[in-house]
Amino acid sequence: MALRLEQKQAIVAEVSEAAESALSAVLADYRGLNVDEMTALRAKARESGVYLRVVRNTLAKRAMVGTEFECLDEVLVGPTLLAFSQEDPGAAARLMKDYAKENEALEVKALSIGGDLLDASALDRVAKLPTRDQALAMLTAVMAAPITKLTRTLNEVPGKLVRTVAAVRDQKQAEG
């Protein structure tokens, strides 16, 4: 079915807006997935904060002009499923990795983070990126470690004094 110019412009604007706010992008070939499988994938994408869209390659190329995902132009060949991570950089990669395990028909073509084009073999590395909450927890732990160590060190001085006094007391009681 042919799209009218207004419809094409709306699609380009929508995808461009998603690309501008995205942290990472994953391109996948969805040939072989039936409607139920695509519906399940879309539901998982909504749950994990991933923008998922099947777009014609020419429209996708136009939508990515001026964004950090322009590097994906050369990989936009054949039927393409776009997945943009909106909240955490590894969300789209995790979604595609998990779904590709269940459905062999889904094949990841490439991904992009920070304007760098990565091939499909980098999917595992990107999928292992921590979520925002995990990253904040790790940062907090790193920031709290020196303070905790200082507190333990400062508490050790009076503790050592108390143990020494107790040992002297015990020695005098044993002699007396």
Predicted pLDDT at 118: 82
- In the three-class reduction of DSSP (H, G, I as helix; E, B as strand; rest coil), residue 85 is classed as strand
pLDDT at residue 126, as a whole number: 77
What's residue 124's pLDDT? 75
At which residue do the structure tokens 């390659």 appear? 57
Contact of 53 with 80, CB cutoff 8 Å? no
Gap between the Cα atoms of 99 and 37, Å rounded: 9
Mean pLDDT, consecutive 10-residue stretches, the chain (176 aa), reads 83 88 88 88 89 89 88 86 87 87 85 82 77 82 85 83 88 85
How far is the CA of 156 from the CAs of 31, 143, 174, in angstroms? 65, 21, 26
pLDDT in tens, 85-102: 888 888 888 888 888 888
Architecture of domain 5-129: 2-Layer Sandwich (3.30)
Q: Tell me the domain boundaries of the chain.
A: 5-129, 130-176
C-alpha distance from residue 164 to each of 46, 152, 159 (Å):
63, 18, 9
Q: Is the CB of residue 115 less than 8 Å from the CB of residue 80?
A: no
pLDDT reported for residue 43: 92
Cα separation, 156 vs 58, in Å, equals 68
Give how far Cα 117 sits from Cα of 18, 74, 94, 112, 130, Å. 18, 10, 17, 5, 20
Whole-number pLDDT of residue 1: 60
**pLDDT at site 115:** 80
